[in-house]
Structure 1
Amino acid sequence: MIRIRDIREWRTHDVVDSAGHRIGTLEAVYVDTGTDEPAMVTVQVGMPTRHRLVFAPLDGAEVGPGYLKVDYDKALVKACPSIGTDDVLPAEDEPALFKHYGLIYEPGASGERRLARP
């Protein structure tokens, strides 16, 4: 398991896919609101003048010297729903994000959002 206090230290490190191909730079960690455990990261991708943030799930992720390896292909991660570098994921966009990765989306018992930035 990746602990939240550990992964925060990895901000600005490379994020690579399951084959070791660089996807982008780790920008932030989102936790599962039900467990308070790290669930996804945002990865800064794009050209220097047109950055955006894409999401990558942390299930199956591994850390190495100077990088975080996610268990997903680079093309899949880069094609996921994205947000601007100064934006926050709107709650209504969460289901599409989970669907992109084939993950089940279940909001909280009272309908609260599933992901939050600590």
Structure 2
Amino acid sequence: MIQAADIREWRDHDVVDTKGHKIGVLEAIYVDTITDEPAVATVRTGLPTRQRLVFVPLDDSLLGPGYLRVSYPRKQVRKAPSIGTDGILPAEEEAAIFQHYAMSYQPGSQGERHLARR
């Protein structure tokens, strides 16, 4: 598992898919609020005048020299739920990220957030 402190050092580095195709640039990390482990990254994609942040899970991710390789194809990541580059992930939209990647989602018993930005 990649440690949160390690990932912070990789901000602004390329994010690539399993075939090495560039998806975008690492922007931020969201941790699982229960385990405090890195769970999801935001990746800056798009043209310089129309950028957005897409979400990609960090399960089976691999750090390399100057890049973060994620275990999802570029096409799937680029179609993932996104926010503006100055946006914040609303709690009610967390489930959509998990659904896009066919992952189970369970908020806290009192409706607490599952993800928190680092």
Amino acid at match of 1:80: A
- Taking the aligned partners of 1:110 and 1:53, their CA distance within structure 2 comes to 28
TM-score (norm 1): 0.98
CA shift at 1:109, angstroms? 2.2
Root-mean-square deviation over aligned CA pairs: 0.5
> Which deviations, in whole Å up to 9, do the C-alpha atoms of 1:65-92 show, x marking residues without a partner?
0000000000000000100000011000
Structure 2 residue ranges without an equivalent (≥5): none
TM-score (norm 2): 0.98
> Which deviations, in whole Å up to 9, do the C-alpha atoms of 1:4-31 show, x marking residues without a partner?
0000000000000011100000000000
1:90 partnered with 2:90 = yes
CA shift at 1:110, angstroms? 1.9
Matched ranges for 1:43-62 at <5 A = 43-62=43-62
Amino acid at match of 1:60: D
Matched ranges for 1:1-118 at <5 A = 1-118=1-118
Number of paired residues?
118
Identity %: 63
- Taking the aligned partners of 2:101 and 2:62, their CA distance within structure 1 comes to 18
Q: Which runs of 4+ in 1 moved over 6 A?
A: none
Structure 1 residue ranges without an equivalent (≥5): none
Secondary structure at the residue paired with 1:11? Answer: coil
